[in-house]
Amino acid sequence: MHFYDVAVEAPLFKTFTYSSELPVSPGQRVSVSFGKRSADGIVLKELSAPEDTTKIKSISSVHEDYPLQSTARLKWLRWISEYYVHPMGLVLQLCYPSLKKGGRPTKKAAIKMSEKLSQSVQLTEEQQKASDSILNLPEFHAHLLYGITGSGKTEVYLDVLEKKIEEGKKGLVLVPEISLTPQLIRRFSERFGDQIAVLHSQLTDREKTNQWWSIVEGDKKILIGARSALFCPIPNLGVIVVDEEHEASFKQEEKLKYHARDCAIMLAKELGIPICLGSATPSLESWKNASEGKYHLHRLTKRVTTENVANIHVIDMRENKKDEDSELPSWMSDYLYQKINETLMEKKQVALFLNRRGLSQIVMCRGCGHTYMCPNCDISLSLHAKTHLTCHYCAFHEDLGDYCKICKVGETKPVGIGTEKVETDIQTLFPNTRTLRMDRDEVNDRITLEDSIRKIENSEIDIIIGTQMIAKGLDFKNLTLVGILLADIGFNIPDFRTGERSFQLLTQVSGRAGRHSQGDVVIQTYNPTFSSLVFAQNKNYEAFAEYELTHRKELFYPPYGKLMSVRIQSLNYTKLKDYIALLEKAVSQYALGSSFQVLGPAPSPIFKIKNKYRYGMLVKAASSKQIREFYLRIQEKLPPPHGVQVLPDIDPLNTF
């Protein structure tokens, strides 16, 4: 009889002993009897025979059709479980597709492959140097490919992957979900044909399962995917690429709150393979590691398609005073209007960026002043399609009448602007132009996204209006003017990463203009001296990084200190309040030092979401080990009562 340590797919941190008459390999997926139900799990290691075997249950079945998790991958998965304080069994759920192998494929192909194959292009001197460096260090090394927008980072990825495939290896390319566009897939399929598998949220479960097996069984050579693709057990993996490594969407915000970039680095380390992180605006964590020599830094300083970099014009909207007879909406400056006219006359394309959806953010009564709020969340309802009020947190919605629902006589008035309002105004100002709005209201599936990009590429669209969906990763030859309508959105969010996020967004959006000919960027703002805006205008990432890192060091924020945010929430306010009172006492008794700080617990800025009342706590420490010890000690000393959730987030991207 053999005995094994098994991590069961259950919300428990402990593992369990099971027996088997036949030997089972560590890393094998199995089914076991767990309580009154059957559950899947994974064998971690073989154990010596325990003294009392009477209560030990046997493994019900072995899933031999699933591949083994290698020793290196098991070690990596244990690290994820420990680092992010998440049960090992639940981490393992991410390692397998949701459906069984086989099944009928959908009529529509999961991805559109290019019908023509292209040859390798001649790399520039900078590109070749970066590629050679990555390839000449075949064991684990982290490489930061820092290149301005349009400098050809993708060509470096393609060259490295091509050489690795020639060696018989496979490749993994992680991209932000927003960048999983037909353009990117086309670039890779033109080089590698049908050797590409794709995993992302817009695929059906059957498509995901079939794509998963195509790379696991060796039919495909490269897996391109969003963060969860990291957990696919790709055999003979030779290199990992993380494109746009600074992107916040690499951080999972629910359940297992892992950061795919950081997990990818640890996986590359365990597998002993190189990893390449690419960005025009690297995260400050990655930049600090590269500056200190922990990562190999490669610079791409020139655009490949044109020697020109877009001109940036900052417009102070405080001076944008309109005459009474002006036809322009309040959000548009005279200068932007002039540039749009000039661009359209030249038969070029315009992109207008605003990081807000809808017609307006607030609807209020002119008579009694009532503001329409979500009944489930402490947030105002946004207006869409003139009469549709909706909450962007819980999806609550209601129709807006002509008169206030409280006083019954006052007229309702929308306040603020969103992309829908901009689209309406543009159609009024430029009635003969072809407009396209790209936000989550209009583009919410793969087919619509593909169709939208095709129209832009074929010059069927004159003016594109959108949110972050148009900010990154897209390359349109005819796009020469980008207007950032209200750069101030995001400047005043109470978070230490506000400056970094603002700089990255301004730079990335600006990078869409003039990638193939001279372009212009018009940035409208009420705060033209905001530090991130000044650095972005001067196109100086390195000066911005030095400035921002100085402030981070003074306040002991990442990358100099480690952070954990803890959200405590409940549907029952009284029960939550009682637990918070006990938690405050427990935290005050914890031995705090100069390198360890606890802020809170305190009510969250948005106190209620989806009818759950929320408190937050922020922990700063010199090491992640200190943070985990603090959390586990508090949990042991003061476990939350039934109905109260305590949700830790290691290395949070949002602290509010």
List CB contacts of 91: < 8 A, sequence separation 6 or more: 77, 80, 81, 256
Predicted confidence (pLDDT) at residue 432 exceeds the cutoff of 70? yes
* Edge-to-edge order in the sheet of strand 2-8: 16-20, 2-8, 37-47, 29-34, 59-62
In a domain, 403, yes or no: no
- Average pLDDT of every residue of the chain: 89
pLDDT for 262-303, tens place per residue?
Answer: 999 999 999 999 999 999 999 999 999 999 999 999 999 988
Give the per-residue pLDDT at 102. 73
Residue 336 CA to residue 481 CA, distance in Å, equals: 10
Strands 275-279 and 237-243: parallel
Judged against a pLDDT cut of 60, whether residue 105 lies above it is answered with no
Is residue 220 domain-shared with residue 290, that is, in the same domain?
yes
The answer to whether 396 and 390 are in contact (CB under 8 A) is yes
Tens-digit pLDDT profile for residues 43-99: 999 999 888 888 899 999 999 999 999 999 999 999 999 999 999 999 999 999 988
Predicted local distance difference test score (pLDDT) of residue 463? 96
Out of 397-401, 489-493, 552-556, 605-609, pick the least confident: 489-493
Q: What is the CATH number of the domain that holds 52?
A: 3.40.1440.60
- Residue 38 clears pLDDT 80, i.e. is over it: yes
**Phi-psi map region of 620: left, alpha, beta (phi>0 left; psi -120 to 50 alpha):** beta
Does the structure show a pLDDT above 80 at 357? no
- Return the pLDDT at 472: 66
Spatial separation of the C-alpha atoms in residues 194 and 117, rounded to whole Å: 10
357 contacts 419 by C-beta, under 8 angstroms: yes
Residue 377 lies in a domain: no
Do 206 and 326 lie in one domain? The reply is: no
Q: Are residues 294 and 180 in the same domain?
A: yes
630 and 498 in one domain? no
Please give the average per-residue pLDDT across 324-334, as a whole number: 87
CA 596 to chain centre: 29
- Looking at residue 307, its pLDDT comes to 65
Which of 105-119, 583-597, 622-636, 637-651 shows the lowest mean pLDDT across its residues? 105-119
Q: Cα–Cα distance between 284 and 287 in angstroms, integer? A: 5
Q: What is the CATH classification number for the domain harbouring 192? A: 3.40.50.300
The b/e string for 300-330 (b: 16+ C-beta within 10 A; e otherwise) is: bebbbeeeebbebbbbebeebeeeeeeeebe
- 67/177 same-domain check: no
Interhelix angle for 153-166 vs 125-135, to 10°?
A: 40
In a domain, 113, yes or no: no
CA-based nearest residue to 11, from 477, 561, 647: 647
3-class DSSP state of 365:
strand
> Is residue 630, in this structure, part of any structural domain at all?
yes
Using alpha carbons only, what angle is made at residue 576 by residues 573 and 579, rounded to the nearest 5 degrees? 150
Helices (H) and strands (E) in the chain, counts: 16, 27
Rounded to 5°, the CA angle 229-235-236 comes to 115
The half-sphere exposure of 87 on its side-chain side, counting CA atoms within 13 A, is: 18
The answer on 159 and 23 residing in a single domain is no
**Burial call 173-197: b when 16+ CB within 10 Å, e when fewer:** bbbbebbbbbbbbebbbbbbeebbb
Query: Is residue 193 situated within a structural domain?
Result: yes
The helix (run of H) or strand (run of E) holding residue 199 is strand 196-199
535 and 570 together in one domain: no
Task: Point out the domain boundary residue: 553, 588, 616.
Answer: 553
Q: How many structural domains is the chain composed of?
A: 4
In a domain, 51, yes or no: yes
Per residue in 188-227, pLDDT tens? 999 999 999 999 888 889 999 999 999 999 999 999 999 9
> Looking at 553, 570, 594, which one is the last position of a domain?
553
558 exposure class (CB count in 10 Å sphere: 0-12, 13-18, 19+): middle
* Same domain, yes or no: 469 and 353: yes
What percentage of the chain reaches a pLDDT higher than 70?
Answer: 95
Domain membership of residue 402 (yes or no) is no
Angle (deg, nearest 10), helices 153-166 and 182-192: 40
Tell me the mean pLDDT in the region 611-626: 93
| Region of poorest pLDDT, from 233-242, 438-447, 578-587 | 438-447
Q: Which residues pair with 311 in a beta bridge?
A: 520
Does 583 score more than 90 pLDDT?
yes
Q: Which helix (H) or strand (E) holds 412?
A: strand 412-415
**Do 285 and 320 belong together in one domain?**
no
Alpha carbon of residue 236 to chain centroid: 27
322 plus 285 within the same structural domain? no
pLDDT value, residue 107:
45
CATH number, domain of 641, equals 3.30.70.600
Cis peptide before 601 (omega within 30 of 0): yes
Whether residue 406 is contained in a domain is answered as no
Phi, psi for 373 (deg, rounded to 5): -115, 155
Do 530 and 643 lie in one domain? The reply is no
pTM (2 decimals)?
A: 0.91
Residue 577 structural domain: 562-650
Q: Which pair of tokens denotes residue 131?
A: 């590629």
Q: Which two tokens stand for residue 368?
A: 């009694």
> 383, 414 in Cβ contact below 8 A?
yes
If asked whether residues 428 and 467 sit together in one domain, one would say: yes
Residue 649 CB: number of other CB atoms within 10 A? 21
- Residue ending a domain, among 525, 553, 581, is 553
Q: Can you state the angle between helices 624-637 and 573-588, rounded to 10 degrees?
A: 120
